[in-house]
Structure 1
């Protein structure tokens, strides 16, 4: 009988592995395609000549990256030298396009011609088939992979497990652009065919997209089980709006209180529904089948809650303890000598004034109050209808009281004229203030007294260490203990006041945001407790000086965005899960009010939370459901419930567990756990725990999934979908918040830790694994797909490079960014034409390094570099506006080392390079028994 490969239609060819009875690949004249290996001897359905083989479900990824690389010639050009002008194929230019994800990075092209070459590049043209990265052996070719593929359970249902040898597979930045592993639910798990029936990972993602059926199986994998939730993520242009159910018909399970969702079952002729969490039968509300707007029968199958995993219900009165509160903002502004001299007060008041129209105030209910402070408190009476305001001074900070019963917290619309008048002259009122000191604690108490009957948000702008009154702090910065076991004491609160006050605030639905500006020590670790327990956020501007335009622009942009962003008010969040799953620990900015109820007086956009999950008993269901519910008041005065539902299959197969692991979610959880451990124990313990967890996962994979088992192995194996986890952990170990060093000021470390525990994954991953672009050799002007110009999907960005200084060339121009800072690295041999085009300077020698704003010049290259920088600032969610620093290769050593510290694959000080780190992991895994 002919092999199946001989039965292919005309125009198609294949390589058939007779030993293992499956295809190695199938292709036609237009290129390779995906094909499910048929069983031995099976018939191939007749097809018309040239038609493709039968397609699979569009969401399932058929080939992992390593396999695809082998098909395309065994080497991914992303791990080679950066492409030159004209070499970048279109599929590489759109991130994160599916073509790029599915292996087309390895397209081959001819050599660069002299015409294509960059005018800023050296004289020698380079080729796309560049040498392999130094220190890494060549990738295995097709023949070497045949045996490996035979061990992959190719015919088995579920996710396919592909093994990668970390010793021969250097990190590839584009791997982090891939979506998480597919969630392969059983047929008919959802009652809706909607593509939105399962939560988008930007709202809710699980560390495992196939959950073990027993706790022992989970322990065997060593992978932590947790949810990473961003319930109130911002929406950019083109994002789908969260559907809103406005008829106040809310169907919930009578026993477990789960909200109806796409994973329930309708029974009893559609009159009842069975809960997907606890299996209780519930009645379907009669109004489910009635359209109240049109007053006619409705289609239940069109209801948003049965088709969308993320949905918002308008809450009926029984969900309200009191009428929905208005949005309330109180600005506590430091007006001490330091704050005035730095220009902070003038910048802050101007920013508030410019953003008054952006403050959420749809129904003219929003209230605003302004309190200034140094060593005294300054209240401002803002009567409605006039432009006058009166200042009331309270010098008694030991027993804070409100000097007037009214007009201190006023309606924004009614008192608009007096608010504008005050903001316009507040800085001038204190310009001769020579008072040094800060009564921050009493100012907070005053703001709390003013706001506590309603709740809302206090925005604190402070330029110095609190020095008088309750909450006063002392400078405890001691260079001798930096880098020692005692350093973690500097990351703990110096006084219980800020934690106990934060819990009071949480009870009264008051949230606090901190904007800190000190040029000296400010004890960020202590002050960050306020936002941490009240669901706020900390922003830090060390050595702020508004006379530097860049400082003023960054603060004004971020402060303006925070003022203007919509927020959830008086919110509580609860996460429910199917039977035998329990939420065991919580990480993020909130206060845990009861065992599983998280209190969040205000939920800013794009704050992330990590919740660990425990398997209590054997799970017999084919899949489980997680549901996050956030009961809140919108800043527009409407009580709502946002519900986010995820369904995840159950597996008893360890290979499914590994193949489903989400490396981005795992890294997000580990960042939270590491910060928590560094505060409760020591920084060294946090680093050891990170390294130990990675060794455990690699050891478990080696013992269970490779032929080496418990013995020594020459490889360091991990599943393809986890190949970036080691470099993400290395990035965490080298992050300012965790890094071993005696040179990191405590304030910078504490602020980094605040970011590590609050950033959503989309912002956290570049923060621990920065982005690195080569700019001097972007495609030339006559290329159709030139980086820095606008394409179908916005500005076309260059390809990210691996984070190694091996990629830095002495004539090059590079961009390195981590979401908080942008570095523009200029090589010492940069040609004069590049200096003229980008900096409007005649040569490298006259270029000054440091914080800057890049000029926008009238030439294509300047416009494209500026477009890439602008896109870098805009492409991620959140209010952050990164500073731009010019770094000269032979410039200021401190700035140069700061930029190079982002290249985490290099060795730095006592910290290993990526290759050394992988070597340490291999030795540890081989020396351990599991």
Structure 2
């Protein structure tokens, strides 16, 4: 310790909401801590293996462990809200636990885990049920001596093709069971070469959004390696902010490698099999011939933004290595060529249509760098008017809808063509993510948000985001379907996709960071003596051009007792579902009502436990089931998220975070909602340093997210992205005013609190123990998630960034919402009233008149 203990007052924050009414008797020291559950789960599972057969609760999503696939997919691929499904809809309503499942088909696996097996199927393709078209999996049964198999989803018996036949042993298992990964692994990749598995053509249209001399493709798309279209905004905003220069430099390093400021070299990481095309745009479109036979790229200009067509074919796409000289010189010259521009407009809609025209009939990935509101060309938008006047009114929901139908049309057309669109946004003014962002969210792409782009601070972040974009597992031309066994059905889908039909989801690109979730409901009662089954199948084209089907399977126990359902409940999945459902409602309901509904759902779930599992306890007692001990604080965190929080938050920020949460994995959602807080000054001497014997790195424990546990002499690190693949894209070092000068020297290489530069972009590399510890912690997190977040410093009562830091302290009173303790009092009051009156939460006293 560098100083004596001294707790701090609450830092400056956005105004919170006090509790109104009589407080329940809740001991602040006894309220459930989410950190305790996280740390206890890590102690139980880290260093151990989880076997996936039904009947066990899996580790929390925040725990790193090794999973062994025994026929059920790893919880990294599928998580459900309860691992014991209620047998009937009546029991499900009594428990109030939403029946949700989250699928992350391409999730990154631990290096110690077995890779997803690749099964060659030949021309016949994988064995499929003749009735429901489900794929063969470990939970199917073999009948008629092995000549038929019974589908675990619909119970139909399908004959086995002659070349797939095998005799059965005395246990009615095939003799080649262990040699067939699809018969013993829950997650499998089938290689499919038949034309029936190729990506289907888009639906015919009366008119096209771009001009082409070629007739529209009528047959399925032949699988080929992925193509990338790189589109750069070259308007004056992009040039003056340095965003264009940084984007071109980062892309060049990505393609061909380079050296760091310290002189260390790094290798290129762009996929070798992929081609790229480069497009620049402002009031006109600029296409480039990248043919390796040219001394330099030749440019063709398209001046009419409303009549988009491809002015060249040969040379538009090129392999980076073959055309290295041409592409490198072009990326170097683009910022200089437009350095004196006076053009303020950039026709993003036209650039997207040009990318669509170049990738149509094949699919691919379009990566756009945009710096200004698209005010010309298709989908032209006017600047957003004052937003504050619509908050709290019926017009509030319009902030989350496209202001021009063109953006929705472009999004759907790209998704149908198998094209994903990712956007890097580096702007100084509002850019209307509610309109342009629908293109990314519908096609499976991703948004990267860099408001007031500063090259010195943000280039390192931009580079790491681009690197993650091209190196993570990515599929394109995707078609997803989720099947359930008899008695269950999917009632709603959540995520980034185009829902052409009620069952099939079209996704331009689907990567390892994205997840799709569903809400399930009963179609009839389930038999507790049998398993209930889920199967997610993704038909996709790999980056290298191979057509495959990835299947993820899950068998679940069925329960008739509420106690079993709560015992095997998964709070992480429930929280993820509540967050996604809230974001999905932003286009149809007012934010105040969504926040009220969230609290009612939390209270109803806890009331369901009281009535079914703890009915004998006094109504004045707050009883929370073990599985949902932290549910109230996570529900409060959803209400405090930037998408839903009260007070004035710009529509761009709200839309950005809403779209992120809708496609996040369960793990990323939990880490985003409750940012991780770490006491840097209090690290043990041996923590975060490699073990001399094993080389393993032990990470420090986290602390509760409140100023009540902080000290004025301390240095704290908080962030959602330093331990997560997503959001905020920043980490904040909070430095107390009484910090020890020795600690400042050891960590920041300064002697005085006021001498610390709040704008430093990375920690200095110092030969001190604490410097090595902190850099090791950050390096470990970067390696896990593949991204480098922005580094910010907030000195106590000195820097404006302290406001952002304080708003990330979820347990405090801030973000136009209550403190965690007050929120527990409110939830307790609702449950108490419902228990004493015999009513329900939603049907009884509502929150309509509450402090919300």
Structure 1 unmatched ranges of 5 or more: 1-117, 125-163, 188-192, 292-296
Distance in 1, Cα, partners of 2:351 & 2:541: 27
Give the total of aligned pairs.
749
Larger Rg: 1
Corresponding residue for 2:108? 234
Kindly indicate whether residue 80 of structure 2 is the aligned counterpart of residue 219 of structure 1: no
Higher RCO (C-alpha 8 Å, min separation 6): 2
Partner of 2:60: none
In structure 2, which of residues 193, 197, 208 is the aligned counterpart of residue 319 of structure 1? 197
Q: Distance in 2 between matches of 1:758 and 1:322?
A: 26
More moved, 297-306 vs 581-590: 297-306
CA distance in 2, matches of 1:848, 1:195: 49
Which position in structure 1 is the counterpart of 2:512? 605
Task: Give 2:178's aligned residue.
Answer: 301
Paired residue for 1:145? none
Given candidates 812, 815, 818, the residue that maps to 1:906 is 812
Q: Is the 8 A contact 1:289 1:298 kept in 2?
A: no
Matching of residues 504-523 of structure 1 within 5 Å:
504-523=413-432
User: 2:599 maps to what in 1?
Assistant: 691
Deviations 1:387-431 (A, max 9, x none): 321111122112222223432233445434322221222211111
Q: How does 1:477-496 map to 2 (within 5 A)?
A: 477-481=385-389, 483-485=391-393, 486-496=395-405
Q: Deviations over 1:611-657 (max 9, x none)?
A: 11111111125211100000111011111110000110111111111
Match of 2:715 in 1: 813
C-alpha contact 2:482 2:535 (8 A) present in aligned 1? yes
CA contact (8 A) 1:194 1:307 kept: no
Residue among 489, 496, 502 paired with 1:582: 489
Distance 2:757 2:323 in 1: 48
Instruction: Name the SS of the counterpart of 2:382 in structure 1.
Output: coil
Question: How far apart are 1:237 and its partner, in Å?
Answer: 3.1
Verify: 1:266 aligned to 2:142, yes or no: yes
CA distance in structure 1 between the aligned counterparts of 2:95 and 2:192, rounded to whole angstroms: 42
Matched, 1:763 2:668: yes
Change (3 A) 1:468 1:322: closer
Residue aligned with 1:539, SS: strand
Corresponding residue for 1:83? none
Contact 2:223–2:362 under 8 Å retained in 1: no
Which range moved further: 629-638 or 617-626? 617-626
Indicate the SS of the match to 2:583. helix
Root-mean-square deviation (CA), in Å? 2.6
User: Match for residue 770 of structure 2?
Assistant: 861
- Unaligned runs of at least 5 residues, structure 2: 7-25, 57-66, 168-173, 199-219, 257-267, 722-728, 841-852
Aligned to 1:208: 82
Write the deviation string for residues 184-235 of structure 1: whole angstroms up to 9, x where unpaired: 7479xxxxx9753211111111111111111111111111101101111134
- Supply the distance in 2 between the matched residues of 1:441 and 1:322 (Cα, whole angstroms): 25
Aligned-partner Cα distance in 2 for 1:631–1:380: 33
- Give CA deviations for 1:811-867 in whole Å, capped at 9, x if unaligned: 111111112321111111111111111111112122232453111111122111222
Give 1:528's match in structure 2, choosing from 414, 423, 437: 437
Q: 1:591 corresponds to which residue?
A: 498
Please state how far the C-alpha of 1:286 moved relative to its aligned partner: 4.1
Other-structure match for 1:338: 237
Do the aligned partners of 1:253 and 1:280 also contact (CA within 8 Å) in 2? yes
1:244 equivalent among 118, 131, 137: 118
Does the CA-based 8 Å contact 2:365-2:509 persist in structure 1? yes
Partner-residue secondary structure (3-state), 1:644: strand
The TM-score, its normalising length taken from structure 1, stands at 0.77
Change over 3 Å in CA distance of 1:802–1:788 after alignment to 2: farther
Identify the residue that residue 468 of structure 1 maps to in structure 2. 376
Relative to structure 1, is the Cα distance of residues 240 and 891 closer, same or farther in structure 2, using a 3 angstrom cutoff? farther
Query: Alpha-carbon deviations, 1:678-715, whole Å to 9, x = none?
Result: 22211112211211111111111112211347xx6122
Report Cα offsets for 1:433-488 as digits up to 9, x if no partner: 12111111111112211221321111111001111111111221415326433433
1:570 is aligned, of 451, 473, 477, to 477
What is the CA distance between 1:807 and its match in structure 2? 1.2
Question: Secondary structure of 1:717's partner?
Answer: coil
Tell me the secondary structure at the aligned position of residue 648 of structure 1: strand
Give the counterpart of 1:278 among 126, 151, 154.
154
The residue number in structure 1 matching 2:4 is 122
- Cα distance change on mapping 1:463 and 1:835 into 2, 3 Å: same
Q: Distance in 2 between matches of 1:668 and 1:650?
A: 22
Deviations 1:553-592 (A, max 9, x none): 0011102321333421111000111002111111100011
Q: Give secondary structure in 2 for the equivalent of 1:650.
A: strand
Cα separation, 2, equivalents of 1:244 and 1:727: 42
